[in-house]
Amino acid sequence: MAISAGFWLACLAGLIAMSCVALVAQAIPSSRTHTAIVFFAERSVSEQLWPGLFQVLQEDLSIENSDLQKTALPDRNPTLLRGSDLAKGIDFADVVEVKLRGRCDVVPQAYRPLPKGPLGWVSLVSGEIQPFIFIDCTRLALLLGPATLGLDQEGRRRAMDQAISHVLIHEWIHIATQSASHSDHGIEQANLTIDELLKNPGRSMRESDRGQMMARNRNGKDPLVPSGAAAFMGHK
């Protein structure tokens, strides 16, 4: 029986299509095995925030021999996305939403008292901690302002990136463990000092910037930095 040329063309097209699917499957790991952290922010947040913040967070999560090695984080290499980057058809095993409140930058300004309240929190509903993290960048900026005096714009941005990263990881641990308890040391403490917020396992902040802030806090030359100032992590 003769086989038409159209039959062979159809077979060839099918083989090419299957090969392309196989190549794509190899190139893109299955998102079902990964966690996505999706960020939502106010319009006043600068586009310059995202590259540095994502880099710092990835570095913090990937550092070896750190306190995070002992935590119960389910994924040390999550996919980081902005809400505007979400696309239909992409599915993840877990999704954590992060909502940033405020401008999320540190600008030189006169001293303003820090209002009471947490820097970050998660919600407890019917005994279950929901996968939503809230971070108050306005309070973070007030807390970091005195410690970043003398730094340039890039140095202040790195300080904010590092602080957001630490607050996020702290709250993510609550979600992953489904526990509201805290540790007496490390990133799981209920209260983090300014130095602990800016602790830099990812080495994303210049040593000169880090040295300026550490010296100012240690020597007490800056009267705007309260001794033992701490940031509270809360739950609502």
pLDDT of 214? 40
Average pLDDT per consecutive 10 residues, the chain (236 residues; last block may be shorter): 50 44 39 82 94 94 68 87 80 93 83 80 95 96 87 91 95 94 87 84 43 39 32 56
pLDDT of 111? 64
pLDDT of 150? 84
Which two three-digit tokens encode residue 138?
């306005």
pLDDT of 66? 61
pLDDT of 195? 86
pLDDT of 19? 43
* Buried/exposed code over 123-154 (b: 16+ C-beta within 10 A; e: otherwise): eeeeeebebbbbbbbebbbbbbbbbbbebeee
Instruction: Spell out the domains of the chain, with CATH numbers in brackets.
Output: 30-235 (3.40.390)
pLDDT of 91? 81
Strand pairing partners for 135?
100, 120
pLDDT of 116? 81
Give the residue from 96, 80, 87, 79 showing the smallest Cα distance to 34: 79
In sequence order, which ranges of the chain are alpha helices (DSSP H)? 5-27, 49-62, 137-144, 153-177, 194-197, 207-219
